[in-house]
Structure 1
Amino acid sequence: MRLSLLTPLDRWLAPAPRVSRVGWLPGARFAHRGLHGDGLPENSPSAFAAAKARGWGIECDVQKSSDDQAMVFHDFELDRLTAEQGPINVRSSAQLGAIMLSGSTDTIPSLRAVLDQISGAVPILIEIKSKRKRPVPAICLAVRRALEGYRGPHAIMSFDPRVGSWFARHAPLTPRGLVVTEENDKALVGRIRRHLWLWLAKPDFLAYDIRDLPSRFAASQRKRGIPVATWTVRSTELRERAAHHADAPIAEGAGVG
């Protein structure tokens, strides 16, 4: 199959967004899980406060609690980031909100609390975590509820194209992104899969693995008006690569500069 034949389908099935939807994204800089390090845990209120103070946008991760609340936490298990163990999704929002993040007095925040903390001062990218065999409507609905009434620049994103598809149908005013990595998926099947997921998610932007840039797929979508953010920018060299091949870095550590 000549992949160039898929380009007209890209334009038809996943049209580029109006500038008004994500015009705030190109030129922005995002702190990956907040400006964490030096006693500021990732995805913590302290890391988000540090990013906000420096004028950096915020990228964060969201998991669902057992009572269907959107909680800001990256892993599916509590073990790496707290003194607790086991899956996050079997704990209630109240239980999770009482768990301290290792190395600090911060506790696991809800998405609503983070939005209240940011209060529109900087843009936020909300990555919705999912598992392939787990349905996504409940976590998507939890995020939509947390976003109700929020006026600051924001967008959801996910590796899972089902998430973008859900928001396209049930919350079409919320900007949405597709997170992409080509790692271990560079053959023809993977190249076709990226187009299929694009058509399903109908994203307003892509969040691309910096290790894959430059990418023919990313460049073709960017050329037709879909902005490209890139993760995770961790060095000066990667900052330069991001500047050449993407519209917004998602950075941490030495990549913040």
Structure 2
Amino acid sequence: MRLSPFAPIDRWLAPAPDPARVAWIGAHVFAHRGLHGADRPENSPSAFAAAIDRRFGIECDIQRSGDGQAMVFHDWELERLTGASGPVAKRTAANLGSIALSGSGDTIPTLRNLIDQVAGRVPLLIEIKSRRDMRIAPVCLAVRRVLEGYRGAHAVMSFDPRVVHWFARQAPLTLRGLVVTEENAKDAIGAFKRHLALWRAKPHFLAYDIRDLPSAFAESQRKRGLPVASWTVRSAELRARAAEHADAPIAEGAGIA
């Protein structure tokens, strides 16, 4: 593989982590939003319990409630996953916790609920959702408060390099990952932007779009010591691709069998 001209800057601005700190990432299969299915909604206590029972790591998503709590929920709006409607951010944690997830008796959990449920038995990858027009400090603070003192294997990650940078500055002992997709940005400008995001975020690992693997960028970071997890692995074919070009699959459905 030809050495990237950005390699020296990568090493300087985004140093590789201590291998011992990140070794657990490559030692697990991660259930994408828990081990969900027809009777277990994504990001639900039931899906998390099923993942724990099978000793899979858990990947989950975080939104912030209107009263500043970290909620385990993927979408900005409630409609797709519940019988309610409107933005997650307009409701209190107590109100969100009373809303049933469609097709189950589960309700929307807080990150605290999830931490208590897992209790260190399996590792967690916690994706923090953000938008360009939002302040990221409040949701980052909400997550950090919950994770303080938690001793189970865990890491935060985000598409937003501002979020990852915040943890680099404000919670440097928390492992942090940059979520990457190359969709519609596979040219030289896109490659440069990926390096800019890397330099700002200073991640310990990458969570990479399986559709983009193999990737020169991912491989260069992997070779210098950043583990690469890959999402979303949904088939045996993609599982084989992740095994060849990544360190850990973030999988669901046929991809996790």
Shorter-chain TM range is over 0.9
Distance apart, 1:8 and its partner CA: 0.3
Residues 99, 108 of structure 1: 8 Å contact kept: yes
2:45 corresponds to: 45
* Corresponding letter in the other structure for 1:248: A
Runs of 4+ in 1 over 6 A off after TM superposition: none
Task: Render the CA deviation track for 1:97-149: whole Å, top value 9, x for unaligned.
Answer: 00000000100000011010000000000000000111100000000001111
Pairing 1:89–2:89 present: yes
Secondary structure of the residue aligned to 2:6 is helix
Matches within 5 A, 1:119-134: 119-134=119-134
Q: Give the match for residue 110 of structure 1.
A: 110
Aligned 1:28-177 pairs, distance under 5 A = 28-177=28-177
Partner of 1:13: 13
For 1:213, the equivalent position in structure 2 comes to 213
Q: How far did residue 21 of structure 1 move?
A: 2.0
For 1:201, the equivalent position in structure 2 comes to 201
**2:252 is matched with which residue?**
252
Corresponding residue of 1:226? 226
Partners of 1:3 and 1:199 in 2: CA distance? 17
The residue type paired with residue 123 of structure 1 is P
The one-letter code sitting in structure 2 at the alignment partner of 1:91 is R
* Greater CA drift, 12-21 or 167-176: 12-21
CA distance in 1, matches of 2:141, 2:115: 16
Q: Deviations over 1:51-87 (max 9, x none)?
A: 0000000000000000110000000000000000110
- For structure 1, the 5+ residue unaligned runs are none
Distance (whole Å) between structure 1 residues aligned to residue 218 and residue 251 of structure 2: 19
Q: Deviations over 1:196-249 (max 9, x none)?
A: 000011000000000000000000000000000000000000000000000000
User: Does the 8 A contact of 1:31 with 1:58 survive in 2?
Assistant: yes
Supply the AA of the counterpart residue of 1:189: I
SS of the counterpart of 2:58?
A: strand
Contact 1:32–1:250, Cα closer than 8 Å, also in 2? yes
Structure 1 residue 23: Cα displacement: 1.5
SS in 2 for 1:113: helix
Q: How far apart, CA to CA, are the structure 2 residues paired with 1:216 and 1:4?
A: 9
Matches of 1:26 and 1:4 in 2, distance apart?
24
Amino acid at match of 1:199: W
User: Contact conserved, 1:3 with 1:192, CA < 8 A, in 2?
Assistant: no
The answer to whether the Cα contact below 8 Å between 1:26 and 1:227 also exists between their aligned partners in 2 is yes
Provide Cα deviations, 1:153-190, integer angstroms capped at 9, x if missing partner. 00000000001100000000000000000001111111
Distance 1:168 1:21 in 2: 15
User: How far 1:3 moved relative to its partner?
Assistant: 8.5
> Partner residue of 1:186?
186
CA–CA distance in structure 2, aligned partners of residues 64 and 123 of structure 1: 22
Two-structure CA RMSD over aligned residues (Å): 1.0
Residue 26 of structure 1 aligns to a residue whose secondary structure is: helix
Percentage of identical aligned residues: 69
Task: State the TM-score, normalized to the length of structure 2.
Answer: 0.98
CA distance in 1, matches of 2:191, 2:56: 33
TM-score by length of 1: 0.98
> Secondary structure at the residue paired with 2:48?
helix
